[in-house]
Amino acid sequence: MAAIDIGIIVTIIMFVMVLVGMRVAFAAALSGMIGLIWIFWSKKGYAGDEFFWALTVAVKTAGQVPHSKIASQALSLIPTFILIGYLAYYAGLTKALFEAAKRWVGWLPGGLAVSTIFATAGFAAVSGASVATAAVFARIAIPEMISVGYNKKFAAGVVAAGGTLASMIPPSAILVIYAIIVEQDVGKLLLAGFIPGMVSALIYAALIVGLALTIPKFGPPVGGFSWRQRFAALPGALPIAFVIVIIIFFIYNPFGGDAWGTPTEGGALGAFVVFCMALWKGMRWTQLKDALLETAKLAVMIFTIIWGVLIYVRFLGFADLPGAFAEWITSLHQPPLMTLVMILLAYAVLGMFMDAIGMLLLTLPVVYPAVMALNGGEFVSAADSAFGMSGPMCAIWFGILVVKMAEFCLITPPIGLNCFVVAGVRDDLSVQDVFKGVAPFFIADAITIATLVALPQIVLWLPSQV
Amino acid sequence: MAGHAAVLEDDSLLSRLERTLFKLETLLALISGIAVFFLMVLAVISVGGRNFFNQPVPGYIDWIEQAMPLIAFMGIAYTQRLGGHIRMDMVIGTLSGRWLWAAEFVGTFLILVLMILLVWGSWAHFQRSFDWNAPLWSRDSSMDIALPLWPAKLLAPVAFSVLCVRLVLQLWGYGRAFVLGLVEPVAVPLVQSAAEQAAAEAETVSDGED
Amino acid sequence: TEWNVSVWGKRRAFTEHIEKLAELVSKKTNGEFTLNISYGGLSKNTENLDGISIGAFEMAQFCAGYHRDKNPTITVLELPFLGVSTLEQEREVSQALYKQPAVVKDLARWNATLLMPSPLPQYNFVGVGPAPTKLADFKGMAVRATGGIGQAMEKIGAVPTSMSATEVRQALDSGVVKAVAFAPHAHMAFGTIETGKWWTTNLNPGTVNCPVVVNTDALNALTDTEREALLGSVDEALDYYIDYYNNNTMKKWGPALDAHGIERITYSPEAIAAFKKEAAGPVAAAWIKEMSARGLPAQKLYDFVEAEIAKTAPN
Ligand code: NA
Ligand code: NA
């Protein structure tokens, strides 16, 4: 059997194992292991006395991957991005943000809901994980919205949707994972997420304002704050601005000149600032210990999937499946943009049933090279490309698109994780209620994705300044 | 997604063993968390050194690469104990009773086979970097300041071995549940509905500053 | 027979001899023996020797400075200021060293047989920020320089900071390192000249040694015809490589510097002599001491290399 056939069969085995409920990290690693054994044994013509040789080579090849791939500077961003989010919670930043947003934009139609969106966007700038953001704001924002007369389901939907922003606005664990898998510049990808994240938030806000203007008794604006009160609310939220500035300056210096360091250092420095703030707010060792354990658990979960998938990817390298898939995709007789849109739609469907990180890690090793080939290859110039952008720029653009798809899958039924989290926090809301409340935001997300596909400059302008 | 799965306890030998192991796992996970903290402090020192004293930390990247395996591997059994490695439970979540325990047993057994192979493979990876007769026993070192790599490489088989022990205990737990037809067995993470899991997830950020 | 070959990055001057070798071998055996070259799919570049020793693939390229403890003997060719001046000379000296029993034994620990070198010219720095017009300006500067070049730079106060070649561009962009030592082809392939402001024309502190090795068992398992086709093509592949580097890469280098407006910095012969005096002797002495402690015939290897360089010096 040819290597490529082995590649296809093992990939199917992997998806079956994942679907029936094997833990994603181990399903991927086990498939990779099986594939490696198979491919080495096939090299020896399946001779009975060569099986042990094939097993040994496969096991030793797979056994390299965890240490070799994990001991990387770029991956060190993930745990710091997770830690910063937990510490921000203990530093009281969530409440401060919501209060400030309320005083500044509460007067808009649907003001409290708009405030919630902006507060989640602000928190996204210190939190690398969407689920945590939704959980935190479900406690703070939903009760206030209900108390002034918002529909309970819609209030829950606002928080579930706003929570997703944390995956796009830097720092973002998902963007780092994408960068690692496709071996592109982490800094540029993080930077690229900034404007689309803002656009996404603005489209959410516009949708809310539109709904508030058309639906009677939607929920009153909350006005009457004096400028003095508005400014008084800022200091509490100031650390967020400080952290954003630090992270941005460590990725890219807007005033020209050198950036101050690496994204790794920026993330770590941001975490340090928030840590000092949490200490000042009275965080004790037990709470720090909890934060560290939670960080460790989430980081280990992500890293285990990463090395598990990379064992599978190592096998793919021997089977050359990505090459074959890319060849097939580029041979399709239809406009490349059409193919791209179909890939994005496939992600929307897959995302209904899968976890965002698992989905990206499992599919990107095969899909990413295909998309790059579609554009004309990794080193293509903008002039010769199908999408009108150079190879590295296409990598960034596609990254932002799939991360937006991943955010979308956090709120779509039946497995929209953010909705489960919000329903979990609020005893009076069922998951179905939250899905109903979040439904309008599907439209907003569809508009955002269409905008990003149609106007790649929104994604590419900032990273191309570097 | 990650979550606290409920693990029931009683006075049986299995449950006592399981809790003893959990203490070790928690310690290892805490080491992992402290390594994250160390990474943060190291970056602050590095930035400060470079920008204020014109003296970068020598081997900064070498140290990060040494710390990463601590972060990534040490908590692997702790996370498995809590059911924190993600999976899709749409199919397995529909099972109950003996069917469920049988499915969990098979899945856990496959992971155990995988992890035993990976203990072997990662041990071989460690061995290639280790030499009793070399200075610092090193046959592979980092690029800048020549830190021996074998300690970091050794962490993988060690952490994976602890996971193997955890998996054996879980096999015992599922096997027992299958044979005795238990409803709520001890020592294994119980499948929670997504909503229950999310509630537990939300719980982790609830005891902060409310 | 089909062999898998593990290299990294993308196809560039540095991999042309392997591409040529694949072409020649296939032609000589009428397609019976093929080399399947994979750019990064089979292994991480610092673990190519591990892969060879496991038997996961049959041929690989690596650089000695990535892991001095894995291949201590060939790091002798990465010592600073050895005085190699051309690619041809680098090739001859490398090939002679690769035949030394201590070197053969060193690589045999990995079940590897040295096939051919990837001769590279002297490294020089491309950097950002104020140009170091005198060597003292390197003090406290974070530079990307591996192996002996890094050790030489340490002697004048620079701080070597390593990362894989693919991460270099971002490190330079973000100021993590202020200067990067590469051969010209790599400065072009990894984009350092796109951000760089200056280039040192004559620092010439040394180069790196990046051999191509084969798995010894796989080599022995070849038929006589196949082995002859492989070993008999090495010289032609290297000729092609050197010709390509000299006439293709180096021709592009000057215009590339001009196109990016990169300032050329040339040090006085006295400054270079002073640097050489400070770095060459002490680093070599430290190397000999350390390698002798490992039970290697370090002095002998060093003397052998010195003698070969003298013998092959172009007139
Ligand atoms: Na974020
Ligand atoms: Na979903």
- Predicted ipTM of the assembly: 0.90
Nearest CA of chain B to the CA of C261: how many Å? 27
**Does the pLDDT at position B139 exceed 60?**
yes
B209 inside domain: no
| Nearest ligand, CA A409 | 2
The total domain count for chain B is 1
Residue C233 has pLDDT above 60, yes or no: yes
> In Å, how far is A169's CA from the nearest CA of chain C?
20
3-state helix, strand, coil in chain A (%, to 5): 80, 0, 20
In whole numbers, what is the pLDDT of chain C averaged over residues?
92
Tell whether B19 is covered by a domain. yes
Residue B210 falls inside a structural domain: no
Cα C294 to its chain centre, rounded Å, is 23
Q: In which band, very low, low, confident or very high, does the pLDDT at C127 lie, cut at 50, 70 and 90? A: very high
Q: Which two tokens stand for residue A165?
A: 């922003």
Which residue has better confidence, A442 or B142? A442
Of A165-174, A215-224, C32-41, C92-101, the one with minimum mean pLDDT is A215-224
Is A67 close to B42, i.e. CB distance below 8 A? no
* Residue B134 domain flag: yes
Q: Which residues of C202-231 are buried (b: 16+ CB within 10 A; e: fewer)?
A: ebbbbbbbbbbbbbbebbeebeeebeebbe
Give the Cα separation of C240 and C112 in Å (integer). 24
- Least confident range from B1-5, C139-143, C168-172, C275-279: namely B1-5
Instruction: Say whether pLDDT at B202 is over 80.
Output: no
pLDDT at res. A158: 95
**C-alpha span between C22 and C253 (Å, rounded):** 27
Contact at CB, B88 and A297, closer than 8 angstroms? no
Q: Could you tell me the residue ranges of all domains in chain A?
A: 1-63, 73-298
> Can you give the pLDDT at residue B195?
54
- Give the model's pLDDT for residue B3: 40
Q: How far apart are CA C231 and CA C223, in angstroms?
A: 12
C172/C192 Cα distance (integer angstroms):
7
Residue A448 CB-half CA count within 13 A: 31
Interface of A with B in 376-435 (CB under 8 A): 414-415, 417, 420-425, 431
B34 within domain boundaries: yes
Local structure of residue A107 (DSSP, 8 states): T
Please list, in sequence order, all residues whose beta carbon lies within 8 angstroms of the beta carbon of residue C243, skipping any fewer than 6 positions away.
none
**Cβ contact C294–B60 (<8 Å):** no
The C-alpha of A214 sits at a distance from chain B's nearest C-alpha, in angstroms, of 33
Q: Cα–Cα distance between C266 and C201 in angstroms, integer?
A: 5
Angle between the C16-28 and C224-231 helix axes, to the nearest 10 degrees?
A: 140
pTM: 0.87
Query: What region, left, alpha or beta, does residue A257 occupy, with left being phi > 0 and alpha being psi -120 to 50 degrees?
Result: left
Q: Is residue C156 scored above 70 in pLDDT?
A: yes
pLDDT > 70? residue B194: no
Beta pairing, strands C198-200 & C124-127: antiparallel
Q: Which pLDDT score, from 0 to 100, does residue B203 have?
A: 62
B60 touching C (Cβ < 8 Å): yes
Q: What are the tens digits of pLDDT across the range C111-124?
A: 999 999 999 999 99
A40, A68, A317: residue with CB nearest C38: A317
Q: Cis check for the bond before A171: say yes or no (omega within 30 of 0).
A: yes
Compute how many other C-beta atoms are within 10 angstroms of the C-beta atom of residue A119: 30
pLDDT at C216 over 80: yes
A74-78, A420-424, C48-52, C190-194, range with the lowest pLDDT: A420-424
Over its length of 466 residues, how does chain A's per-residue pLDDT go in tens digits? Answer: 788 899 999 989 988 998 888 988 899 999 999 999 999 999 999 999 999 999 999 999 999 999 998 998 778 888 888 888 788 878 888 888 888 998 998 889 999 999 999 999 998 888 877 877 887 788 888 988 888 889 999 999 999 999 999 999 988 888 888 887 787 878 888 889 999 999 999 999 999 999 999 988 887 888 778 888 888 888 888 888 888 888 778 777 666 666 677 777 888 888 898 899 889 888 889 989 988 998 888 889 888 988 998 898 899 889 888 778 888 888 888 889 999 999 999 898 888 777 777 788 778 888 998 999 999 888 888 888 889 898 889 999 999 999 999 999 889 876 777 887 787 777 788 778 888 999 999 999 999 999 999 999 999 998 887 6
Q: Which domain holds residue B34?
A: 5-204
pLDDT at A333: 86
Q: Does the beta-carbon distance from A26 to B110 stay under 8 Å?
A: yes
Does B150 contact A at CB distance below 8 Å?
A: no
Q: Report whether pLDDT(B207) > 50.
A: no
Residue B4 has pLDDT above 50, yes or no: no
C67 has a chain B CB within 8 A of its CB: yes
Chains that contact B by 3+ CB pairs under 8 Å? Answer: A, C
At how many degrees (to 10) do helices A130-147 and A417-425 cross?
Answer: 50
